[in-house]
Chains A and B, each alone.
With several copies, the nearest count.
Chain A
Amino acid sequence: MSAKESNPTTDVAAEPEAAVTAPPEAAGISAPDQAAGPAVTHPQQGEMPFAVVMGQAVTELPKDLYIPPRALEVFLEAFEGPLDLLLYLIRRQNLDILDIDVSEITAQYMRYVELMDAVQFELAGEYLLMAAMLAEIKSRMLLPRSTENDDSEEDPRAQLIRRLQEYERFKKAAEDIEAMPREERDIWVGNAKPPDLNRSRPEPDVDLRELLLALGEVMRRADKYEAHLIEREALSTRERMSDVLSALSGQQFVPFVSLFDVKEGRLGVVVTFLAIMELIKESLVEIVQTENYGPIHVKARTE
């Protein structure tokens, strides 16, 4: 609160940054962010840098970091994770991402993590992981630097910076996507009522293979009928049985001889004969001969 008051007066340079250090809510991407707006002003104002010296932000942290638990929750929910929070802390201090002061950032980050803990905010493991990583970097930077021959080991700070940069570019990409014109907001697709349709439903195609597979399947299922099914007669006989029945349908008596077509040759005659025999056997037709050596007639048993 006092920091807020003193802010404009202390340093003019701080003025433009005030806008710059606006929390991510300023981007106004998601609804919760908006909700966070007013609640958040308190903590962020409190830690606003009041001076920039040689590109380095000088920050006086407020004595009381107290944030009402609900507000804190909203505040933290405004962040998309530890990287986002870190970016925010860095930006708020007017620091270039390549030039972060690890110990300062670590201290601030830890303060937030402690706060989260204090209000029993369900602390995501990711935040703790980042805390541990920051602590490690900090401790390594305190150690005397061995000579440059340990190049093989990557500078953990560089690693952190890379992660921050990588995250930031996608954070930016997300904002770009949000800004892109899109359907239902900026773009309306034109449509007109279609004419009355003359629809034709095409018939499904069937492959002979499918038919055979289906038959194989049913036969496997109906194993007990196997004996019944597998008969020696050729399919042509069954086909001819159908033809004979067709020929008989609607007729009273049909002369036996008329069922044969000599043009089919010997084989055809045999097939027809077998078909009629089978029809008799299955009681589908009956044979009638009124007198000895008289003409034989065939009649369907049913029609």
Chain B
Amino acid sequence: MAESNLVQIVEGALLAADKPLSVAQLAGLFDEQERPDNSTIREALAEATARCEDRGFELQEVARGFRYQVRQSLSPWVSRLWQERPQKYSRALLETLALIAYKQPVTRGEIEEIRGVAVSSNIIKTLHEREWIRVVGHRDVPGRPAMYATTSQFLDYFNLKNLDQMPALAEIRDLETLTAELGFSEPQEEGAPDQASDSEDAAESLDLAVVGGTEHPSDESTTDN
């Protein structure tokens, strides 16, 4: 009976909260003397999860804890509740976010170096306001630039438990061999038979590369974190 009450409290709290709740936060709802231990709470969470079977929602664990989410398969209907189109993010913002996510902690200068252009202050501001990034320190170089990292709110927003769940970063093809092969030889004179011979391959890899990697085969990429 008390067991079932615990599940109800967990269900009610998760639905009432405006953010995901961790096991510790759920435990904090109880007076010390009646506080269930973490494994008991996890059992209650498992029970609550099981109870979502065949329902329009499910219990999901994200970075900050647990929350109820509408099943993604219902998205076509549920999305109609909102008139406005979902917000679009500019490429500049997404590239900056990607660099912070994959290279954190990283300074603005380092981001600019890779992107080849200045990062606008507005982008940094927007990312801060969304609470997707935070300053985790300052690099010990002149100017002591801030180092940025992503937050758990960022992970929550993208439905992730941790950074490992991000798509793997594409691999950089080996440069040492490349440099050796290339030398300064002019591509025109390329007598390199192997390069010419598998033009088929070249065309193929081109396809993939050009599409911008949206179809990069996963075997080409590495788990970079």
Contact = CB atoms under 8 A, between A and B. Distances in A.
A242 B12 CA distance: 51
A168 B220 CA distance: 14
A221 interface: yes
A300 to B, nearest CB: 5
A217 B104 CA distance: 18
Contacts of A29: 88-91, 94
Interface stretch (A65-73, A110-118, A180-188): A180-188
Interface in B164-211: 164, 166-173, 175, 178-179, 182-184, 186-188, 195-196, 199, 202-203, 205-207, 209-211
Contacts, number: 410
A202 B185 CA distance: 36
Contacts of B207: 16, 20
A174 B173 contact: no
Interface stretch (B22-30, B32-40, B135-143): B135-143
A84 B170 CA distance: 17
B99 interface: yes
A74 interface: no
Q: Which of A141, A181, A235 gathers most chain B CB within 10 Å?
A: A235
B158 A181 contact: yes
A220 B98 CA distance: 14
B74 interface: yes
A195 B210 contact: no
Contacts of B125: none
A198 B75 contact: yes
Contacts of B168: 234-235
B175 A178 contact: no
Contacts of B157: 182-183, 206
Interface string A27-68: 101111100000000000000000010111000000000000
A236 B216 CA distance: 14
Contacts of B202: 55, 96, 99
Contacts of A246: 134, 136-137, 149
Contact of B116 (A130, A141, A194): A130
Interface string B47-72: 00000000001000000000111111
A126 B116 contact: yes
B16 interface: yes
Given A169-B213, A202-B84, A238-B163, 20 more contacts: A16-B207, A20-B211, A21-B210, A31-B90, A148-B183, A158-B182, A174-B97, A177-B166, A185-B86, A186-B72, A196-B75, A205-B225, A207-B225, A211-B158, A215-B172, A234-B164, A235-B162, A245-B149, A301-B139, A302-B138
Interface of B: 12, 15-18, 57, 67-76, 78-79, 81-92, 94-95, 97-99, 101-105, 113-118, 130, 134, 136-140, 144, 147, 149-150, 156-160, 162-164, 166-173, 175, 178-179, 182-184, 186-188, 195-196, 199, 202-203, 205-207, 209-214, 216, 218, 221-222, 225
Interface of A: 13, 16-17, 20-21, 24, 27, 29-33, 52, 54-56, 80-84, 91, 94-101, 124, 126, 130, 140-141, 145, 148, 154-155, 157-158, 161-163, 165-222, 225-226, 229-231, 234-236, 238-239, 241-243, 245-246, 248-249, 283-284, 300-303
Top 5 nearest A-B pairs by Cβ distance? Answer: A242-B149, A190-B68, A81-B117, A172-B213, A214-B94
